[in-house]
Structure 1
Amino acid sequence: MKWVLLTAADGIGCSFMLLVADVRLYNKSITLQIAESSEAGGTSWGPLIINRPNRVSSGWIQDDREAVVLHGGIINWLLSHVNKILTYDIHAERLRTTKTPPTQGKHTQRILGTSSDGWLRLVIAEGFMITTWLSLSSGWTRESVIDTEHKLQSLHPYISPPTCMEIEFDRSGETSGVVLLRAYRHGQHRCLGPLILLDLETKEMRRQNSYPSLLFELDLLQLLQKMKPFL
């Protein structure tokens, strides 16, 4: 079961929606139900929506990855092992899958986010090399390639050559353009090394001392603008 909370900032035409999805891609079925706020201030559950599309790939949604919502109520989940993204449009009630860019390495990490101008962003780590892709109207476009080896070595004294190390993504910011990650050795438990914050816009990296990892995003400019009448 997957839960997704959408707000007015997502361009859904109401205060909020709560989507509950029972995703069973092994038998090509996804059942949805949406609770939607009303103008009177109440909340009501809509009917069950059952999708059985023929062209949706098998696989499963990664348990440790949250959905990424684009403006207009377009929900995206990253699928495991099939290099595809599952997308649901709440207004069109349409389910589809999109193929992700190909990867070369055996040990590959992926995470979804959004760019500052609202495009879906896919971040891929192969060794210490991080590549970011944007899903534009014309298809996938490579945005940047970031070599993190030397930066990670300066932040973490136990970093080895990339042939025996991997990067694991922890969280992704939907509006701030950052990802949280860790480095660990092949075949070892994923707990090696400190939590690292990577800013995908500036390519700067810094250590985070908080544990467990939490990512709270605050639009300070928008908040100050709302407070202006009271100042």
Structure 2
Amino acid sequence: MTTPEAAGPQPPVPYGTPDAPRIAVRGEAHLEVDPEIARLGITVTARGRDRRSALDDLTRRNTTTLDLVKSYGDAVERLETGAFSVTPELTKHGRGERIRTYHGAVRITAELTDFTALGELTTRLADLDLTHVDGPWWALRPDSPAHRDARTQAVREAVQRAREYAEALGTTLAALVELADIGAENPMPHPAAAGRMRSAAYSMAAETEAAAPLDLEPERQHVYATVNARFTMHPPRL
């Protein structure tokens, strides 16, 4: 009695065979590069005895701040307005409460690519009355070439490591079986994958003379890439 042949290709053996041994390696890369963008968080505030005066004051200060940032032209890549609020401050009055004053606030985010202008803009913003500045936060663009360079380096390291293992056995690689990002198999972030960003806060009252521009040193960014790779190799003679 004959056994019928199985139709179609046979599934690969998970751990290889004596005729096609497998090598599993990890390739890693760590690059340290200059940042490409710097973000500033700007909070413009205002006060007023009534809601309308607080709102009018906030509108005026917000316009002044936006005009200042926009005056830097192409140095500013992105300018966005975030949270806005006008909130009453209550105080006790007899047995009850009454509104003492109103506080207004608006949050603005500016993203700059010209770090020469960054120090001057930061100082001028901090020199505005009732204005709070956070940052800068240094970062890379999501499509930065540094990410591609790190991935390429990680793949090359994986291939080189696999070749060294094969050479240690007196043989060579035959084929690539699998290449995968670590996150594609086990979605756990790299412990240092998120670029650290230095921040500082500035809040100054307006002075008669303009303050000198801050000397800001961009913080180097760390880029990581890790891949898993599996290869088959020609059978070694052991």
| Higher Rg of the two aligned structures | 2
Give the structure-2-normalised TM-score: 0.22
Higher relative contact order (CA 8 A, sep 6+): 2
Higher strand share: 1
